[in-house]
Amino acid sequence: MADSEIQEPNIIAENVQVRYTVNTNDPGSRATGVRRLTNKIVGRQGQTTVRALRGVNFVAREGEMVGIVGANGSGKSTFLRNVAGVEQPDRGRILVRYQPLLLGVSAALQPALSGSENVRLGCLAMGLSPEEAAEAFDYVVELSALGSAIHRPMGTYSSGMGARLRFAIALAARPKILLIDEALSTGDATFAERSERAMDELLAEAGTVLLVNHAAKVIQELCTRAVWMHRGEILMNGPAEAVAEKYRWWAWNVAKGKEDIADKLLADVVSNAVKEEINILEPELIKNPIPRHAARPSKTKAAPARHVKRQDTVDEIEETPTPMLAAAEEQVWPKSFDAEMPKAKFPALPKPASQAVSAPRITDAPPLRLNPSKKRVVLRAANPNDRASSVAAADDFTGRRLASRARKIADERYEERQRLRQEDEAPAVHQDSRR
């Protein structure tokens, strides 16, 4: 389990809240007075606020494929859109190491154009240069396996063929973080294998995949970890097998109208949740050795009185000018520290039993679980040596990202999945009969 501590995070979502104001014709939420009159005149009915996400805390690390399950309207797609950055959350923040790619190139494609023209258009839409798009063309054709259909207009494709082409175009951009919303279910068996292999390669190159799918079986097969979202909150977070199984059992009860059992299951899941918190170590203090108030030009405002309470630190971070994504890899420490930084001494703490035991397999799900209701302590590391990432670097992981190793991991995962699938043939029948 210590393995997950070492992996660098690719996505950190902290207290993400999203609310939408939408029209409703619910008689209960009708406006009163003048408001109602104006609503009548412009032909609008009442408005209501929907809380799509109610404080989601989430960390995804490199090499992880995280499944997101949940009933319709539980906020899965909203969360994915926020991670992709196409929408901004009302509260909270989302940090990413690379630009996430939502599997949504379909929006840029033109049905009247041929598949090959759309490949070029889609690649350009994802920010490739024309030369890169031309290079990626063969890869897309091979991965989508459309054959001569690639030269026909995309409007004539079947839905499965269209999904294959879209997926192949998205992977041609070589994203490090891929967000998939209800895709892959339309492809046939041959394509499923190819797409899994492509995703394994992505994961092995220290990428991250978030997969939203209703079919708990798909999550079980593909993902290393799963989260169960319910009414805009993360209800459960753990190994894909366990979470998907519980979700399936709950969904089955809801479908059968056994509300009482379903509610009991929910209550059980909530009460059994272990509080797991996480510190987000901000590198900010070290990046800007000069305190913000000292760096601020004097013309802006008179300094506030000393007794005035400082603003919340999280708010301050949001104000800072954000670096470009391309520059993310060269986040720099200052070339030289003016003065020797005092070394903070943290005592070596005993490892929790859960981390001390069991050598982790690569398919093991990390134990991370975030409790959204609890307020977390955000430590600010005063010294780079105290950061979690530097502890990880102390071990010998230098060769971890070599391409050959990456390929090997991908192969292993693929082999194992094939083996599991063959073994699953018999249990699958059993599971189906239970439905």
Partner 1 sequence: MSETKNPLGLSSIPSVSSEGLVPVGRRTSLSSYLAALWNRRHFIIAESRAKMSSSTRKNILGYGWLFLNPLLSVLAFWFIFGYILGTSRGIHNFLGFLVVGVFFFGYTGKCMTGGTGAIRSGASMIKGFQFPRAALPISTVVRNFLDFMPTLLVMVIVLAIAPPLEEITWRIVLVIPVVILQTIFNVGLACFLARLGHKIPDLTNFMSIVSRFWLYGSGVFFSIEDRLDNHPALLAAMQYNPMHAYLTLVRNSLLYGVDTDPKMWIVGTVWAFGLLIVGFLFFWRGEENYGRL
Size of the site for partner 1 (CB under 8 A): 77
In angstroms, what is the minimal distance from the CB of 145 to partner 1? 24
Residue 23: name the closest of 50, 48, 51 by CA.
Answer: 48
Q: CB of 231: closest distance to partner 1 in angstroms?
A: 21
Q: Does 342 bind partner 1 (CB under 8 A)?
A: no
The two structure tokens encoding residue 9: 């995070």
Comparison of 220 and 224: residue with beta carbon closer to partner 1: 224
Residue that has been written with the tokens 């089955």 in this structure: 252
Q: Which of 31, 50, 71, 113 binds partner 1 (CB under 8 A)?
A: 113
Of 303, 328, 362, 428, the one binding partner 1 (CB under 8 A) is 328
* Amino acid at site 78: T
Q: Does residue 335 touch partner 1 according to CB under 8 A?
A: no
Specify the stretch interacting with partner 1 by CB under 8 A; choose among 142-150, 190-198, 222-230, 344-352. 344-352
Give the residue with the Cβ less far from partner 1, 62 or 196.
62
Binding of partner 1 by 321 (CB under 8 A) = yes
Among 69, 105, 244, 365, binds partner 1 (CB under 8 A): 105
Q: Which of residues 277-316 bind partner 1 (CB under 8 A)?
A: 277-283
Which residues 346-405 are close enough to bind partner 1 by CB under 8 A?
346-347, 349-350, 352, 354, 368, 376-377, 379, 381, 387-389
Q: Which of 31, 50, 71, 108 binds partner 1 (CB under 8 A)?
A: 108
The only residue of 76, 97, 225, 248 in contact with partner 1, by rule CB under 8 A? 97
Residue 132 one-letter amino acid:
E
Question: Which member of 15, 55, 62, 120 binds partner 1 (CB under 8 A)?
Answer: 120
The pairing of beta strand 91-96 with beta strand 65-69: unpaired
Tokens of 136: 């990626």
194, two tokens: 């190819």
Contact 424, 218 (CB under 8 A): no
Read off φ and ψ for residue 366, nearest 5 degrees. Answer: -70, 155
**Closer residue to partner 1, CB minimum distance, 110 or 185:** 110
| Closer Cβ to partner 1, 93 or 217, answer by number | 93
Region class of 206: left (phi > 0), else alpha (psi between -120 and 50), else beta = left
Rounded to whole angstroms, how far apart are CA atoms 404 and 391? 25
Collect all residues with Cβ–Cβ distance below 8 Å to 370 and sequence separation of at least 6. Answer: 57, 58, 59, 234, 237, 276, 277, 278
> In the bound complex, what is the minimum distance in angstroms from residue 18's beta carbon to partner 1?
10
Our finding on whether 411 is near partner 1 (CB under 8 A) is: no
Tell me how far apart the terminal alpha carbons of the chain are, to the nearest angstrom: 34
Which of 30, 51, 91, 93 binds partner 1 (CB under 8 A)? It is 93
49 touching partner 1, by CB under 8 A: no
What is the closest distance, in whole angstroms, from the C-beta atom of residue 391 to partner 1 in the complex? 10
Report the residue number, 248 or 367, with the smaller CB distance to partner 1. 367
Residues 51-90 that bind partner 1 (CB under 8 A): 59, 81-88
Read off the amino acid at residue 147. Answer: G
Q: Binding to partner 1 (CB under 8 A): which residues in 175-234?
A: none
Query: Among residue numbers 244 through 283, which ones bind partner 1 (CB under 8 A)?
Result: 274-283
Evaluate whether 212 touches 181 at the Cβ level (below 8 Å): yes
| Residue 43 binds partner 1 (CB under 8 A) | no
Q: Would you say 223 and 203 are in contact if contact means Cβ atoms under 8 Å apart? A: no
How does DSSP classify residue 322?
P
In whole angstroms, how close is the CB of 73 to partner 1 at the nearest point? 17
- Please list the residues that pair with 405 across neighbouring strands: none
Of 127-156, which residues contact partner 1 (CB under 8 A)? 127, 129-130
Looking at beta carbons only, is 24 or 431 nearer to partner 1? 24
Residue 434 is a binding residue for partner 1 (CB under 8 A) = no
Q: Please report where in the chains the tokens 């009915």 appear, as a residue.
A: 45
Phi, psi of 162 (to 5 degrees): -60, -40
Phi, psi of 96, deg, nearest 5: -135, 155
Residue with tokens 């404080």: 55
Residue 383 backbone phi and psi in degrees, to 5: -140, 135
